[in-house]
Amino acid sequence: MKMNRRKLLSLMGASPAILAGTPAFANATKAAAKIAPGKIKALNPRGLPPAIQLIPMAPRLNSLDGKTIYLIDDTFPGADHFLHQIALWFSKNMPSVKTEYRVKAGGLADDDPKLWAEIKAKGNAAIMAIGH
């Protein structure tokens, strides 16, 4: 069975326009067609992803009265203004709720163990402003 070079190149993801190139490439294509006529072997480029470990959400509070809520800024542009508006809303509508504004070290995916320890020790809840 003779393999069409254009079809072979198309299956390999190459443009048939390269047939107009050097004769050495054309000879290599012929050699590849002779090695495995009509068959192409490919590997999956995605590989196997690691298993996902699910972490449950924190339990919900029955009430916010008398609680401390940390407002966490991850430095996304405008997050500070948004969080200050949330603090203003709490001060007007729920004055018994204490808000603590903090800027998280690093970006969104970076860890901030010192801040997490403070929230765990002194806070009851957290609102983190994450940009789009």
The whole-chain average pLDDT of the chain stands at 82
Could you tell me which residue, 64 or 9, shows the higher pLDDT? 64
Q: State pLDDT tens for residues 58-76.
A: 889 999 999 999 999 988 8
Residue 69 near residue 125, CB atoms below 8 Å:
yes
Judge whether residue 25 has pLDDT over 90: no
In the chain, where the domains are located: 5-35, 68-129
Confidence band of 16 (pLDDT split at 50, 70, 90)? low
Mean pLDDT, residues 13-25 taken together: 57
Please check the confidence at residue 22 and state whether its pLDDT lies above 80.
Answer: no
| Residue 40 confidence (pLDDT) above 80 | no
Separation of alpha carbons 69 and 127, rounded Å:
7
SS (H, E, C) 49-85: CCCCCCCCCCCCCCCCCCCEEEEEECCCCCHHHHHHH
* Bridge partners for 99 per DSSP: 69
In sequence order, the 6+-apart residues with CB closer than 8 A to the CB of 110 are: 104
Task: Give the predicted TM-score (pTM) of the model.
Answer: 0.58
